[in-house]
Amino acid sequence: MEGCPWQTVSSKKGTKKRRNKTRAEIGGERTGSCEIGCQDNEVDCGQIKLKIQQAKEDLTTSTFWYFCQRLIEECLGKFIEQIKEKQSFSAEGIHPGEDPAPKCVHQQDTQTSEPKEETVESRHGFNCVCYGVGRFSSCVISRYQLALLLLLLEKLQVPKHRCHVFDPLFSRWEIAVLQALGLTVIFENEEGKHRIFTPTIFYMIHCGKALYNNLLWRNWSVDALSKAIIIGNSFKRIEERRNRLSTGATGMDDTTNISTEARQQMNCK
């Protein structure tokens, strides 16, 4: 009887240690499983890139991508035309009389349009910034969003190294895949405060309002905002939702008055 309490205490401590150790091991396994898509060897990384390629192929045969291209031609054609008009007032002069600029975005046009599209891109120095694409190694939705981004870069002939990508959820294996694809990974969290110096496409599908607010606040000038195209949430719907909920004002309140918006449902089927 005298030894029982000591044996009991010793047993509880040992059990507690073993339980803690077991929980720590399980936690480690869970952490590792989040990155298992590309952790073991290069074959797994290749499989992820293969899945991304398959997602691209699925998109290219979808009606969604067909309507996306039409939207790109409409919006980007006007955007390029406006930039050309602004540059025509410069000392260089960029043939404002020739007006095939909107057609330069058409991928299926004649072969003569392709070199013009490259010239437009090189003149205007298109950049792309992608926020919040998510864990594409394990999430199918994120993978299709990344595939769509890659198709957009090809469509607009934006060099991949000029597309800067950031998501705080990226594993180091996903970063390796992005770099292998030729994209430039942002390692510092900008919180959306990316300065605009050249015409820039922001790919921000399903990002939160705070990120949009920060982006607009950082570039709240006529010169900067006139160089921005945002592929993301609808500003008008955000404003409508805010009005319905009677929430406080946001930095996006004036944006609907100075921006042009075109909508496309995110449905790949």
> Distance of alpha carbon 206 from its chain centroid, rounded?
9
Q: Is residue 86 domain-resident?
A: yes
Residue 149 lies in a domain: yes
CA distance 27 to 1: 39
Mean pLDDT by 10 residues, the chain (269 residues): 45 47 35 40 76 97 92 79 67 45 35 39 72 94 97 94 96 94 96 94 91 93 91 73 60 56 54
User: Helix (H, G, I), strand (E, B), or coil: what is residue 164?
Assistant: strand
Q: What total of structural domains would you count in the chain?
A: 1
237, 243, 244, 247 alpha-carbon torsion, rounded to 10°? 110
- Assign residue 125 a region: left if phi > 0, alpha if psi is -120 to 50, beta otherwise? left
Give the list of residues 6+ apart from residue 81 with CB closer than 8 angstroms, or none.
99, 101, 102
- Asked whether 156 and 72 are in contact (CB, 8 A), the reply is yes
263: in domain: no
pLDDT of amino acid 240? 64
Domain membership of residue 46 (yes or no) is no
Residue 202's beta-bridge partner residues?
129, 230
For 58, the domain range is 53-258
92 found inside a domain: yes
Asked whether residue 61 is domain-assigned, the answer is yes
